């Protein structure tokens, strides 16, 4: 597989509270929230806990769920111990690549997309106020991008003692590309723009660089993070030899 990744502070924020993880077959992005540098602490803790978890077996569903719950516990406990961090939290969207299947674990409004041929499909559901309005048919996807409450999350890691985690599996095919990104990217750019940029680059790093460049051209009001993975059947064949 080929991988491209980058995080950018954007044009408005004073600190970068985003982060990403790349390790083996596990990938993730996180978007922290909280006053001062609390969001940066939350996203870093979430990614550290996820990276420390050993994922074994053919089905990593339980491992991913427990990793997210553990990250939630660590962030919540840290906030209770340090009053300067009270209220901090983070999104976390993780991807594990297996033989012919992929697993996504998700909390918040960072996203996972699957790009196959001429199609780009959002795999995750935004855990946000506007996300629920879109799913209920009360708001269009375009309207949601500019809604004044688009940043209000209904789920995040670290804001409560327990959290509900979405975990699901999907099949992947040769030449599929999977994008993990924070809302600093999916806000300024719509899905069709994201698809065109991904399809216009053979190597994921070129696509990631262009995605962030275009987000900055739109004003980049938030931190911007993207991880793009291009999957190949020959990688699995080579691994089996």
Cut 0.85: pTM above it: yes
Range of the domain at 164: 2-240
pLDDT tens sequence across 62-94? 999 999 999 999 999 999 999 899 889 999 999
How does pLDDT run across 155-193, given as a tens digit for each residue?
A: 999 999 999 999 999 999 999 999 999 999 999 999 999
Sheet holding 177-181, edge to edge: 2-8, 224-230, 177-181, 111-116, 119-122
Q: What tens digit of pLDDT does each residue of 11-28 get? A: 999 999 999 999 999 999
Structurally, the chain folds into a number of domains equal to 1
Q: What is the CATH number of the domain that holds 130?
A: 3.60.40.10
Rounded Cα–Cα distance for residues 203 and 226 (Å): 14
Give the full edge-to-edge strand order of the sheet including 101-107. 18-23, 26-33, 89-97, 101-107, 166-171
* Percent over 70 (pLDDT), the chain: 88
């Amino acid at each position: 597989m080929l991988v491209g990744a980058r995080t950018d502070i954007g044009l408005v924020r004073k600190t970068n509270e985003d982060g990403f993880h790349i390790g083996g077959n596990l990938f993730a992005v996180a978007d922290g929230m909280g006053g001062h540098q609390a969001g940066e602490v939350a996203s870093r803790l979430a990614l550290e806990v996820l990276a420390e978890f050993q994922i074994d077996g053919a089905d990593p569903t339980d491992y991913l769920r427990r990793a997210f719950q553990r990250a939630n516990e660590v962030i919540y406990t840290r906030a209770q111990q340090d009053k300067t961090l009270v209220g901090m939290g983070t999104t976390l969207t993780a991807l594990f690549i297996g033989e012919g299947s992929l697993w996504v674990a998700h909390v918040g409004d960072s996203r996972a997309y699957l790009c196959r041929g001429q199609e780009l499909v959002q795999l995750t559901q935004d855990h946000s106020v506007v996300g629920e309005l879109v799913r209920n048919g009360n708001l269009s996807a375009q309207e949601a991008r500019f809604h004044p409450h688009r940043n209000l999350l209904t789920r995040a890691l670290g804001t409560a003692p327990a959290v509900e985690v979405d975990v699901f599996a999907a099949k992947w095919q040769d030449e599929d590309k999977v994008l993990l990104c924070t809302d600093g990217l999916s806000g300024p750019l719509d899905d069709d723009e994201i698809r065109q940029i991904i399809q216009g680059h053979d190597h994921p790093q070129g696509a990631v660089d262009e995605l962030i460049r275009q987000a900055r051209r739109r004003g980049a009001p938030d931190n911007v993070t993207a991880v793009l993975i291009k999957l190949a059947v020959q990688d699995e064949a080579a691994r089996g030899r």
